[in-house]
Structure 1
Amino acid sequence: MAKKVSIKDIASAAGVSATTVSIVLNGRAREMKISEAMAKKVEKLAEKLNYRPNLFAKGLRTGKTHTIGLIVDDISNYFFGHLAKVVEEEADKKGYTVMFCSSENNEGKSRNILNMLVDKHMDGYIIAPTTFMLPELEKLIAEKRPTVLIDRYFPSLNSNFVTVDNFTGSLEAINHLASKAVKKIALVTNDTDQLQMQQRIDGYVSGLKKNKLPLDPSLVKKIPFGRPEAKQVKDLVQFFSRMKGKFDAVFFTSNNLGVAGLEAFNLLGLTVPDQVSVLCFDDNDLFRLGKPGITVMSQPIKQMAKKAVEVLVKQIEQADSPLSHVVLHTQLIERASVQ
């Protein structure tokens, strides 16, 4: 009997990741910005290899589709891309496939994709929620649909969640900067109500107070969530130019803001760390490979993803399993951007 072809087999033949194959086969290549040529290549290989998931038939037999819905802000983002990869790997080990969606923190899209996944009868959901999703999530929980929130959660919602200690991570970041004798620490963050960002801001403020450093509101720059990178860079060039001489370090609360900030420094001719020290919440390949390397508070992405799948599958298979509230710790990775 011929071996059943898996997504990993198609990925190996196509020379791409299993995540890419899954996105294409779920009909979301254009939305996830996968090229038409690559999508056609994957589809042709799937046909050639006679790939047949047959989830519908399985669902009729068992009442389950063995499919998990994953919603994140932007799957092309370093953090969420790596998270999605591990979620898929862990789900595959447990016999589940994953349907990926990006909310782009857009109100209409957030609600539509969640409702779409519900209509497709996912066995469970792993969601990095936007603030707009709360009513739909309340309904999801009330209907006892297995759900795990990841990266952030709603304190008012009695749900499973896996996150990191954002407050302590930011506090430790400021402590590290203060230990290097910097005195004026600017903050670049997103203008959003998302809990994890508010916790990082609170950690920044507490860190300044703890180290008896001044809290200058003019040194806090909030950039709208989802703003295109080119506009982020433009905003930061203007901000850093206006604040020139008023700061000697910058703490970025996300890796995408950190990348935009480094580009702004380059355009302004500001050198890191000679003229400004930099520390970013969350890592990025650019921070690891670039010169100088950027010091970061790294999130345990693999551990977060593995735990989220573990909690979700347990709830799928044991409906009466107790709720899990998992808070993991960040890790300071020192490189060369702070002196």
Structure 2
Amino acid sequence: MKKKRPSLKDIAEVLQVSTTTVSFVLNGKGEEKKISKQLIARVENYLKEINYKPNLVARSLRTGSSRVIVFMVEDISNYFFSKIGRIIEDIAYTNDYRVLFCSTENDTKRAQDLIQLFQERQVDGFIIVPPTGIETEIQNLIENDIPVVLFDRKIDTLDVDSVTLNNYEGATQITEHLIEEGYNNIAFITIDLDLIQMDDRRKGYLFAMEENNLKPNILEIPYEMANADKCNVAISQFLSDNPQIDSIFFATNYLAQNGLKTMSRLDDKLIKALGLACFDDNIFFEMYSPSITTFAQPIEQMGAQLMKIMLGHLEDKEKIKTKKAHILEGKLIKRESSLRRETIKL
């Protein structure tokens, strides 16, 4: 038979104190409520002795705080988002918060449903990589004094904190680097998705090509095909149709991974014959032969910045009124894949 969970009243009777006293100690408000250190220690020791675990749902209803933050991203299995998630989780844990992770797959309805679900569960804050079409839901959170920080992309129509990257400058740097290395038929493979960071990467590529009087060549792959066999087919057909291509700039690391897989299947010399670079680093890119040039996002700094903003709002909702767009700087990591062709041994 399952042992009955002791109530606050049961604990108070054993200790011969009021249920209010037990509640204050349990919620870390003992000293604030002028309870003696000796009594606080006696309550805490008994709670440890019986291995008492508070009912988090009941506590959230009572205190209005669940000590839970939601991290809502495009795809939590993506290397970039999972690395950020781990940093957020570690910082949250040291501040007595827990993190719930979820993926939207860039689906508006799914994101709307998740926001409603977690709002009903009284989570304390949201860190969101927003798909298009959820402005109303985010505005509703803001109006209900629930802290929100947007990540990876911002929404200009909303007064909300955001942490993003210098996507335009990063894409420009990659393209200019390839041009400096002697490539002049540079293809850009990206996702056909109406997102501000993808648009900025495209614009950065186009700017650098135009500045150098080079003709752009772009392949847009629908998001639903990005991690499927159809993506490999699209890249294969694109390479076949454009034999003049001497280099490729991939807009995301997962597109680069698909592209590398496709090229190795078509001709194992292609990876060394073409200049290659991509946006977003990945631990595996250092292990390729040749190693892959990337524009790396400052993952540690991003995670720390997101939590600095979130914890600031949670600790004092009245103090931080001004919302700010934080744009961080990435770093171009030059590796073997973008070397001048004459220096690459085929």
TM-score range, shorter chain: 0.7 to 0.9
Letter in 2 for 1:233: N
Q: CA deviation at 1:182?
A: 0.4
Q: 1:282 aligns with which of 275, 280, 283?
A: 280
In the alignment, the residues of structure 1 paired with residue 185 and residue 54 of structure 2 have an alpha-carbon distance, to the nearest angstrom, of 57
The 1:237–1:53 alpha-carbon spacing in structure 2 relative to 1, beyond 3 Å, is farther
Contact 2:264–2:271 under 8 Å retained in 1: no
In the alignment, the residues of structure 2 paired with residue 110 and residue 124 of structure 1 have an alpha-carbon distance, to the nearest angstrom, of 15
The 1:252–1:63 alpha-carbon spacing in structure 2 relative to 1, beyond 3 Å, is same
CA RMSD of aligned residues (A): 1.6
Report the counterpart of residue 93 of structure 1 in structure 2: 94
Report the counterpart of residue 235 of structure 2 in structure 1: 236
In the alignment, the residues of structure 2 paired with residue 83 and residue 315 of structure 1 have an alpha-carbon distance, to the nearest angstrom, of 20
Per mean C-alpha deviation after superposition, the further-off stretch among 130-139 and 65-74 is: 130-139
Contact 2:150–2:162 under 8 Å retained in 1: yes
Report the counterpart of residue 73 of structure 1 in structure 2: 74
Letter in 1 for 2:152: D
Contact 2:168–2:204 under 8 Å retained in 1: yes
Q: CA deviation at 1:52?
A: 4.5
In the alignment, the residues of structure 2 paired with residue 58 and residue 265 of structure 1 have an alpha-carbon distance, to the nearest angstrom, of 55
Contact 2:263–2:271 under 8 Å retained in 1: no
Q: CA deviation at 1:239?
A: 1.2
Per mean C-alpha deviation after superposition, the further-off stretch among 323-332 and 271-280 is: 271-280
In the alignment, the residues of structure 2 paired with residue 139 and residue 114 of structure 1 have an alpha-carbon distance, to the nearest angstrom, of 10
Contact 1:236–1:264 under 8 Å retained in 2: yes
Q: Secondary structure at the match of 2:201?
A: helix
Q: CA deviation at 1:292?
A: 1.3
Contact 1:270–1:276 under 8 Å retained in 2: no
Report the counterpart of residue 28 of structure 1 in structure 2: none
Report the counterpart of residue 171 of structure 1 in structure 2: 172
In the alignment, the residues of structure 2 paired with residue 157 and residue 313 of structure 1 have an alpha-carbon distance, to the nearest angstrom, of 20
Q: Secondary structure at the match of 2:133?
A: helix
Report the counterpart of residue 292 of structure 1 in structure 2: 290
Letter in 2 for 1:99: L
Question: Deviations along 1:114-166, whole A, 9 cap, x unmatched?
Answer: 11111111110000000032221122223331000000011111100001110
Q: CA deviation at 1:198?
A: 0.3
Q: CA deviation at 1:204?
A: 0.5
In the alignment, the residues of structure 2 paired with residue 271 and residue 324 of structure 1 have an alpha-carbon distance, to the nearest angstrom, of 47
Q: CA deviation at 1:262?
A: 0.5
The 1:230–1:319 alpha-carbon spacing in structure 2 relative to 1, beyond 3 Å, is same
Contact 1:146–1:315 under 8 Å retained in 2: yes
Letter in 2 for 1:92: Y
In the alignment, the residues of structure 1 paired with residue 54 and residue 118 of structure 2 have an alpha-carbon distance, to the nearest angstrom, of 17
Contact 1:252–1:258 under 8 Å retained in 2: yes
Q: CA deviation at 1:57?
A: 4.0
Gaps of at least 5 residues in structure 1 are 1-49
Q: CA deviation at 1:229?
A: 2.8
Q: Secondary structure at the match of 2:111?
A: helix
Q: CA deviation at 1:53?
A: 6.7
Report the counterpart of residue 3 of structure 2 in structure 1: none
Report the counterpart of residue 161 of structure 1 in structure 2: 162
Q: CA deviation at 1:111?
A: 1.2
Gaps of at least 5 residues in structure 2 are 1-50, 340-346
TM-score, structure 2 normalization: 0.79
The 1:51–1:214 alpha-carbon spacing in structure 2 relative to 1, beyond 3 Å, is farther
- The answer to whether 1:138 aligns with 2:136 is no
Report the counterpart of residue 124 of structure 1 in structure 2: 125
The 1:113–1:212 alpha-carbon spacing in structure 2 relative to 1, beyond 3 Å, is same
Question: Deviations along 1:225-249, whole A, 9 cap, x unmatched?
Answer: 13233221121111111112x2111
Instruction: Pick the structure with greater CA Rg.
Output: 2
Report the counterpart of residue 249 of structure 1 in structure 2: 247
Q: 1:314 aligns with which of 299, 308, 312?
A: 312
Identical residues among aligned pairs (%): 33
Q: Secondary structure at the match of 1:64?
A: coil
Letter in 2 for 1:89: D
The 1:186–1:270 alpha-carbon spacing in structure 2 relative to 1, beyond 3 Å, is farther
- The answer to whether 1:325 aligns with 2:325 is yes
Report the counterpart of residue 20 of structure 2 in structure 1: none
Report the counterpart of residue 152 of structure 1 in structure 2: 153
**Matched residues, number:** 286
Q: CA deviation at 1:271?
A: 2.9
